[in-house]
Structure 1
Amino acid sequence: MRHPEDQYLDLLSRILDGGDRRIDRTGVGTLSIFGAMLRYDLGRGELPLLTTKRIYWKTAIRELLWFLKGETNIRSLLLEGVTIWSDWPLAAYRKATGEEISQKEFEARIVADEAFAARWGELGPVYGKQWRRWLGPDGHEHDQIAALVETLKTNPSSRRMLFHAWNVAELGEMALPPCHMVYQYHVTSDGRLNSLMLQRSVDSFLGLGFNLIAQAALQTMLAQQAGLKLGEMVWVGGDTHLYLNHLDQVREQLSREPRAVPAMRLLRKPDSIDGYRIEDFDVAGYDPHPAIAAEVAV
Structure 2
Amino acid sequence: MTTTIVHADSLAATEEPHWERQYLNLMHRIWTQGDERVDRTGIGTRSLFGETIRFDLSGGAMPLLTTKRVYWKTATREMLWFLTGDTNIRALCAQGVEIWTDWPLDRYRRETGDQIERKDFSARIVADEAFARQWGDLGPVYGKQWVDWPTYEPAGEGLFRRGQGVNQVTQVVESLKTNPGSRRHIIEGWNVAELDAMALPPCHKTYQFHVSRGRLSCLLYQRSCDLGLGFAFNMWSLALLTRMVAQQCNLEPGEAVWTGGDVHLYLNHASLVEEQLAREPYGDAHMAILRRPDSMFDYRIEDFEVTGYAPQSHIAAPVAV
The normalised TM-score by structure 2 is 0.91
Preserved contact between residue 30 and residue 244 of structure 1 (Cα < 8 Å):
yes
1:153 aligned residue (177, 182, 197): 177
1:90 aligned residue (102, 105, 126): 105
- 46 and 268 in structure 1: CA distance in 2 versus 1, 3 angstrom threshold: closer
Preserved contact between residue 4 and residue 46 of structure 1 (Cα < 8 Å):
no
1:167 aligned residue (165, 180, 191): 191
In 2, Cα distance between the equivalents of 1:277 and 1:8?
29
Corresponding residue number in structure 2 for 1:5: 20
For structure 1, the 5+ residue unaligned runs are none
In 2, Cα distance between the equivalents of 1:53 and 1:87?
22
2:36 aligned residue (21, 24, 38): 21
Secondary structure, counterpart of 1:274 in structure 2:
coil
In 1, Cα distance between the equivalents of 2:116 and 2:266?
26
Alignment of 1:210-225 (within 5 A): 210-225=233-248
In 1, Cα distance between the equivalents of 2:48 and 2:138?
29
Deviation at 1:91, TM superposition (A): 0.5
Preserved contact between residue 135 and residue 141 of structure 1 (Cα < 8 Å):
yes
For structure 2, the 5+ residue unaligned runs are 1-15, 154-162
1:36-88: CA deviation from partner (whole Å, max 9, x where unpaired): 00011112555210000000000001000000111100000011110000000
Corresponding residue number in structure 2 for 1:179: 203
Alignment of 1:113-152 (within 5 A): 113-138=128-153, 139-152=163-176
In 1, Cα distance between the equivalents of 2:64 and 2:259?
17
Deviation at 1:105, TM superposition (A): 1.0
Percent of residue pairs identical: 59
Structure number, greater radius of gyration = 2
The answer to whether residue 72 in structure 2 is matched with residue 57 in structure 1 is yes
In 2, Cα distance between the equivalents of 1:168 and 1:198?
16
Secondary structure, counterpart of 1:275 in structure 2:
coil
RMSD across aligned C-alpha pairs, in angstroms?
0.8
Preserved contact between residue 131 and residue 163 of structure 1 (Cα < 8 Å):
yes
- 23 and 250 in structure 1: CA distance in 2 versus 1, 3 angstrom threshold: same
Secondary structure, counterpart of 1:141 in structure 2:
coil
The normalised TM-score by structure 1 is 0.98
Secondary structure, counterpart of 1:292 in structure 2:
coil
Preserved contact between residue 109 and residue 116 of structure 1 (Cα < 8 Å):
yes
